[in-house]
Amino acid sequence: MKMLRWMCGVTKMDRIKNERTRGTTKVVELSKKAQERGLQWYGHVMRRDETYVGRRVMQMEVPGGRARGRPKRRWTDVVREDLRDEQLSENDAFDRARWRKAVRNIDTT
């Protein structure tokens, strides 16, 4: 945001909302871009064949229990949450054109 404000010639003292600054520069939030890239990678891995090491690791079950307390947030948990947010299923990744369109967060807000 600091760089975007600098590009627009705005300071924090001007008290302009971040959404307006992002809209002026036509840039999406960083969290949305991270979500997009994660889902793009997920689609890439799912389209690979069953022998691909990344696909095998995603389907692997690790034996043993987890530590006490709140569970650590895993990448697969984040992907499932993002799929639910975007109303996509795991099988949608196999239609590449549809997947790309559904996952894409265009840099205009």
> For residue 109, what pLDDT band results from cuts at 50, 70 and 90?
very low
- The answer to whether residue 91 scores a pLDDT higher than 70 is yes
Domain boundaries, the chain: 29-60+71-103
Assess whether pLDDT exceeds 60 at residue 39: yes
pTM (global) more than 0.85: no
Say which DSSP state 70 is in.
S
Helix, strand, coil % over all residues of the chain, rounded to 5: 60, 0, 40
> Could you tell me which residue, 19 or 53, shows the higher pLDDT?
53
Spatial CB neighbours of 109, under 8 Å, sequence gap ≥ 6: 19, 22, 23, 26, 27, 28
- Token pair in block for residue 27: 């840039």
- Which pLDDT score is estimated for 78? 92
